[in-house]
Amino acid sequence: MYGDKKYNNLNYYLREKFGEKVYKLSIDAGFTCPNRDGKISTKGCIFCNERGAGDFTGNRGDSIYKQAKDQIEMIKKKSDAKKYIIYFQNFTNTYDTPEKLEELYNTALRIENVVGISIATRADCLSDGVIDILRKLNDKTELWIEIGLQTVNDITAVKINRGYNLDIFEKRYNELKKYNIKVVIHLIANLLEETKYDFLKSIEYISSKKVFGLKIHMLYITKDSPLFKYYTEKPFYIMNMNEYSDLIVESLKILDKEIVIHRLTGDPNQENLFLPEWTLNKKGVLNLINKKINQYL
């Protein structure tokens, strides 16, 4: 057992490492993304919206210090939180010069009671210069690099306009691994026409790479993403909550047990969500998943 769960989970990992619950502060540091600003494409990934895959972060215009302070204040109203991880969430958080990135990350580390940094990015935005910065940062703090891979299928990757192939991921991942930098992979279930077997292939691959962490969520179609248009013109099958929870259990059965599960369901913005509505019931989805895990894992 990993705390109260049958699978290795983030809360358990953090409690073991830091001796208590650690809270994530979601920061919008004002980045953009090469898949949106024209360097690779102007369209972005098909499911991405104007906020660059981060609907619940701090205010883009505010300093990271203010965003962190505001969130700490909110968290403290409900808990006796003492330790935090800064999560650079929106867009591509390594999309700048190594010098500027180093300054930004070090600023985050100076915020009181911050014990780690998590950086969301793309595999093709991890140049040697950036990895050199990350290598130094990794010696100083708990560091996670979160890569929105979503699928290992290169045909789907073209359909979703991810903008790079698995080969690029593999090369950059191996570089990070060489320096023992922890990598968290994001995968999406039901990615357009992908079946559950396609998803399990992604899980098998991630498992074989022995990544540090994994985040999974069901595909959700938001009204402000290109996916909305795609779906209305070319509808595809969308799993129900029962099918999704079964798929999660199957995934955990084949996943390397050391991989830390950071998330098993998503958090869509209610105002923008088109489908599937059941993803709004986060608690219900997690309860069903945990019930099935307790029964079948």
Contact residues for ligand SF4, defined by CB under 6 A: 33, 35-36, 44-45, 48, 52-53, 91-92, 122, 148
Q: CB of residue 213 vs ligand SF4: minimum separation in angstroms?
A: 18
Distance, CA of 185 to CA of 120 (rounded, Å): 10
**Helices marked H in 40-97 — which ranges?**
64-78
- Closer CB to ligand SF4, 162 or 182, in the complex: 162
- Closer CB to ligand SF4, 8 or 118, in the complex: 118
Q: Is the dihedral of CA 115, 174, 217, 105 positive or negative?
A: positive
- Closer CB to ligand SF4, 33 or 252, in the complex: 33
Q: CB of residue 92 vs ligand SF4: minimum separation in angstroms?
A: 6
First to last CA, the chain: 11
Identify the CA nearest to 275 among candidates 242, 233, 231, 245. Answer: 231
Beta-bridge mates of residue 260:
213
Q: CB of residue 25 vs ligand SF4: minimum separation in angstroms?
A: 19
- Closer CB to ligand SF4, 40 or 134, in the complex: 40
Q: CB of residue 70 vs ligand SF4: minimum separation in angstroms?
A: 23
| Cα-based distances in Å from 39 to 126, 231, 294 | 15, 26, 46
Q: Find out whether 297 and 261 touch, Cβ atoms under 8 Å.
A: no
Q: CB of residue 58 vs ligand SF4: minimum separation in angstroms?
A: 17
Distance, CA of 274 to CA of 250 (rounded, Å): 27
- Closer CB to ligand SF4, 36 or 182, in the complex: 36
